[in-house]
């Protein structure tokens, strides 16, 4: 994955940092994924929820991704692991793609190492972002 500047709200940072610590303590997720999420959080620019631009992928954001090679369109909502199986299209933050998209902006392209190989995905649009409507309880 490519280096990038990412924004994370203070609320998401606190929740995700606690999630990493708890998951590491109870070995409930891949150590490699937890280390990757932890490194993304460490280098992120932490801002108040009110300062998050409406075009940035945050927790509970519904985002459209487009595979630049195949044209495949994916609509996913980035969620905490406990919400991942509640609804089709939910994507756990503790997945490689979930970690890859957090903090990205509309128009950005990411490199994602999927099981099928390296893919290039573009953040095409955001349908819903909690911070954009002052929903800090999600």
29: left (phi over 0), alpha (psi -120 to 50) or beta: beta
- Does 4 have pLDDT greater than 80? no
Residue 56's domain spans which residues?
A: 7-130
* DSSP secondary structure letters along 80-119: -GGGTTTSTTEEETTSHHHHHHTT-BTT-EEEEEETTEEE
Any domain includes 103: yes
Any domain includes 135: no
Q: How high is the pLDDT of residue 29?
A: 66
- Number of compact structural domains in the chain: 1
- Does 26 have pLDDT greater than 90? no
What is the pLDDT confidence band of residue 1, given thresholds at 50, 70 and 90? very low
> How many beta carbons lie within 10 A of that of residue 131, not counting itself?
25
Any domain includes 125: yes
* CATH number of the domain bearing residue 93: 3.10.50.30
Closest to 34 (Cα-Cα) out of 112, 108, 92, 114: 92
Any domain includes 58: yes
Which whole number is the average pLDDT over 92-110? 93
Q: What is the pTM of this model?
A: 0.90
């Amino acid at each position: 994955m490519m280096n990038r500047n990412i924004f994370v709200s203070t609320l998401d940072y606190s929740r995700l940092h606690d999630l990493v610590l708890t998951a590491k303590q109870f070995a409930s997720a891949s150590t490699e994924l937890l280390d990757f999420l932890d490194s993304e959080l460490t280098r992120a620019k932490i801002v108040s929820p009110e300062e998050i631009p409406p075009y940035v992928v945050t927790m509970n954001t519904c985002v459209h991704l487009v595979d630049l090679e195949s044209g495949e369109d994916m609509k996913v909502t980035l969620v905490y692991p406990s919400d991942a199986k509640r609804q089709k299209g939910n994507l756990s933050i503790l997945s490689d793609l979930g970690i890859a998209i957090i903090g990205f902006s509309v128009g950005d392209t990411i490199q994602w190492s999927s099981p099928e190989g390296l893919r290039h995905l573009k953040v095409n649009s955001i349908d819903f972002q909690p911070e954009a409507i002052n929903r800090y309880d999600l």
